Structure formats: C-alpha cells, structure tokens
Structure 1
Amino acid sequence: MSGGFSDFWSQSDAVGRLVALLLLAMSVSSWALILWRSWLLRRARLGLARALPAFWQAANLEDGRSALQGFDSEGLLQPLVDAATAETRAATLEAAGTRESRLTRRLRDALHAVLGRLQFGQVLLASIGATAPFLGLFGTVWGIYHALVSISAAGNITIEKISGPVGEALIMTAAGLAVAIPAVLAYNLFGKWVAACEAELEGFAHDLRELLTAKD
C-alpha cells in the first residue's frame, strides 16, 4: 500500500496531490474530534448520572446548586439552575408575561446552549463521512485520467502500462472509504449518546420548572 501510494504521489499532478492532502486533513481532524468527543461525552454521561441524584437529594435549591459543583464536571446542569433562579430585568420584553412563561423561556434558552455544546463537531463528522468517499472517487478518476494522458503521450499503449497506474489510482478510493467509515460510525454513536444526555437534561429542566412554579 505504501509503495503504491508513493508511486501514485510521484506520478500524480497538482490536483491529485491536493485531493490526497484534503483526505489526510479530513482524517486527522476526524480522529482528533472522535477522541476529544469520546472523552467529553463520557464525562458528561458520568457527570449526569452522579449529579442528578445529588441535586434532588439536597434539602433546598441552594444546597442542590452546591451539590452540582462536585459532579457536574462539564457544566451541563448548572446553567439550567442559574437560568431558573435568574432575576428578570424590569421594563423589558423579557419581563413580559407570567412568571411561568418567563421561567420556561429562560430554561429553554439555557437548554439550547447546553445542547449546542454537546452537539459541537457533529456537523463536521457528518460532512466528512458524506464527502470523503466522493473525494476519494474523484481522486481515482483524476488519477486514471492523468495516467492515461501520460501513457498516450508516450505511445505504445498496452494493458501492462495501463494496469499499474490504474491500480495505484484506486488507492484514493480506498483512502476515501478509510476516512469516511470511522467518521460515520462515530457520528451515529455520538448521536446516541447526545440523545441520552438530551433526554436527561430536558427531564431536569421540566422537573426544575415544576419545582419552582409549585412554590407560587
């Protein structure tokens, strides 16, 4: 494989090399994102599993807020508590409506911000998984075209002279698949983990709203 790729690189033109570099950049960024998000989502899931029981076992809201600080390592629940207990500025549209509607609005905004952090990088993984195979296929087609042009210019076209460059160009298709498959698998797995965290956060926001509105 390494010999074929080195032959392809030496015989390719600027377009073929650009495609190879783009696939390399996609692979590096994809794996960096996979490793980072695996670590982050693992901490988030463990933090939620520990922080939620600690919060609801507290005697009051302030004790619950303090309990979160020891378990909510990724800061997923604290913004919801802060939003629920925030003071609304007077004489603004934010202060309009009932207390329940203002509380719902603040919790919704905080929840969207937290989920945006959890979903960071999903678009990049999806884009790499969707485009890398086609980029590799383009590299293969361009490599075959470039090889055929070079062979035809030299004359004496034979199957032996064609099979070598064509086989080397097919490496780009394999490279595109090698880049795309881990990105797609990670995207699906992370989507499942984010959905589980989202369900926990939405449930917490709903219960927190019910807790505060019941005091009125």
Structure 2
Amino acid sequence: MNATVPAAANSNPYGLMAALHQGGVIAWTVFIILVIMSAATWFIMFTKLFEQQKIMNQAKRVRTTFWGTPTLREGANKLEKNSAYRQIVDDGLTAQEQHTKLIDPVDQHEWLGSSLGRSTAAINSKLSNGLAVLATVGSTAPFVGLFGTVIGIYRALIKIGAAGQASIDAVAGPVGEALIMTALGLVVAVPAVLGYNWLVRRNKVLAEQIGAFSTDLHGYMVSNGAVKPALISVKTAPTPPLKTGSAAINPKA
C-alpha cells in the first residue's frame, strides 16, 4: 500500500499521456495524424536530400571524366547508369539517331533541343516529387493541432458548466490538453516548412546545373564536337620549368 503512494504522487497528471487519455478518441486521432505527418516529413526530407546529393556528385564526375572522352558514347559509358546526366546523354544520342530516320525535314538543332528539353523537364519533375507533401504538412499540421485545441477548450467549458465554477482542478486537464495539441501541431509544421524551402532551393541549383549541361551537350552535338564547355575548351599553356644559373635570372647575360 505504501509503495503505490509515491508512484501516484510522482505521476504527472498533466503530461502527454494523461492528456491523450482525458481527450479520448478525438485526442488520440489528432495525435496519430500528427505522428504520421511527422514521419512522412522526415522520410521525404532524408530521401530527397540523398537524391540531391547523389546528383551533385554526378555533376562532379561529369566535369572531370565526361567531356574528356573522344566520343559521347564513351563519355556516357563512364557515367553512372540510371543517373540524371546519363539519361540526358542517352536521350540526346537517341534523338540524333532518330533525326536521320525522319521523313519530313526537321532542323537538327530544333529536334535535339526539344528532345533534351523534355529530358531535362522530366528530371526536374522527378526532383520535385514529394515536396507537395511537405507543403501540405506545413500548411495543415497547425490546423490539425488547432482542432485538438478546440476540443480541449470545449471540454474545459463543459467541466466549468458542470461544476458551476471555474476552478483550477476542473479546467487544468482540458486546457493542458489543448496547449499540448497546439504545440504538437507546431512541432510537426515547422520542420516541414523549413525542409520544403531548403529542398526547393537546392532543386533550383540542380536545375541550373542540369540545364547548363543540356545546353553544352546540345552545342557539342550540333557542331559535331567543335563546341565544348569553357571548362574543357579553354586550356592554358604549360609553364616552362625554371632554369638555374645566371641566364635564368638575366636572359641577356
């Protein structure tokens, strides 16, 4: 008997679990919905971050290995399969082969440009997958928590009416439940909004890099390899080794 008294005294009657038990089915429903929203938010954030970082690493390999190859096919073979840049190159090569089979004359510049444009748009669309969920969670989670808040305040008013007076003991539980639901809604919404803005910003950077690569590839293909990116086409002459002796210091000597 004495062992149960300290346990009851140390229990928090105004904590999360107590608020959920007091709120009943509605409080548990709101809580489960917010948990699902939070889990979806963090899952999407980590998966999109991994996907974006993978494409950034592919961009580094393109700058170091792709443009140094003698042909586009050899350069494509050095890229990772099923990667964004490999997809653009493969689509460009396919469009180049299809252009020779066209019956009606179509300018090669226009044909390749439209094909590379579709490929780039498909990649950008894939990068934006899941961001709508973050935007939805960020905009609706506070209102889901607010619904739990309204129910808690309503229960507090019912207790006040039943008791006939606004005592602390009567309203502390429902008001605490209302505040907890508000806090949970904000805890779920804030990371979703921050993650959405951050991922959208990184997607814009990736879209610019992919668009620049598509433009460089287009120029390379319509010029039969004569036009290359400035990173490859501009080469500095090697610096001659410094000679020792008086002639190196004074050439006229």
Q: Report the TM-score, using the length of structure 1 for normalisation.
A: 0.87
Q: Greater share of helix residues, 1 or 2?
A: 1
Cross-structure match for 1:79: 87
- Given that 2:141 and 2:189 are in contact with CA atoms closer than 8 Å, whether structure 1 keeps it comes out as yes
SS of 1:199's partner is helix
Q: Aligned-pair distance for 1:156? A: 3.3
Q: CA–CA distance in 2 between the matches of 1:3 and 1:126?
A: 32
Higher relative contact order (CA 8 A, sep 6+): 1
SS of 1:12's partner is helix
Q: Aligned-pair distance for 1:157? A: 3.0
User: Unaligned stretches of 5+ in structure 1?
Assistant: none
Cross-structure match for 1:117: 126
Cross-structure match for 2:175: 166
Of 78, 88, 105, which residue of structure 1 is paired with 2:114? 105
Q: CA–CA distance in 2 between the matches of 1:40 and 1:214?
A: 33
Cross-structure match for 1:88: 98
Q: CA–CA distance in 1 between the matches of 2:162 and 2:24?
A: 17
User: Which amino acid in structure 2 is aligned with residue 85 of structure 1?
Assistant: L
The alignment status of 1:187 with 2:175, answered yes or no, reads no
Q: Aligned-pair distance for 1:146? A: 2.9
User: Unaligned stretches of 5+ in structure 2?
Assistant: 1-11, 226-253
Cross-structure match for 1:63: 74
- Given that 1:58 and 1:67 are in contact with CA atoms closer than 8 Å, whether structure 2 keeps it comes out as no
Q: CA–CA distance in 2 between the matches of 1:34 and 1:66?
A: 31
Q: Which moved more, 1:204-213 or 1:56-65?
A: 56-65
Q: Aligned-pair distance for 1:152? A: 4.5
Q: CA–CA distance in 1 between the matches of 2:183 and 2:37?
A: 14
Q: Deviating runs (4+, > 4 A) in structure 1?
A: 89-92
Q: CA–CA distance in 2 between the matches of 1:66 and 1:74?
A: 11
Q: CA–CA distance in 1 between the matches of 2:115 and 2:211?
A: 13
SS of 2:129's partner is coil
Q: Report the TM-score, using the length of structure 2 for normalisation.
A: 0.75
Q: Aligned-pair distance for 1:18? A: 1.9
Q: Aligned-pair distance for 1:169? A: 1.4
Cross-structure match for 1:204: 213
Q: CA–CA distance in 1 between the matches of 2:33 and 2:166?
A: 32
Larger Rg: 2
Q: Aligned-pair distance for 1:163? A: 3.1
The superposition leaves residues 22-63 of structure 1 with CA deviations (integer Å, 9 ceiling, x where unpaired) of 111101111111222222222221221222331111122122
The superposition leaves residues 162-183 of structure 1 with CA deviations (integer Å, 9 ceiling, x where unpaired) of 2332122111111011111111
Q: CA–CA distance in 2 between the matches of 1:131 and 1:74?
A: 35
Q: Aligned-pair distance for 1:66? A: 1.5
SS of 1:198's partner is helix
The alignment status of 1:155 with 2:163, answered yes or no, reads yes
Cross-structure match for 1:25: 36
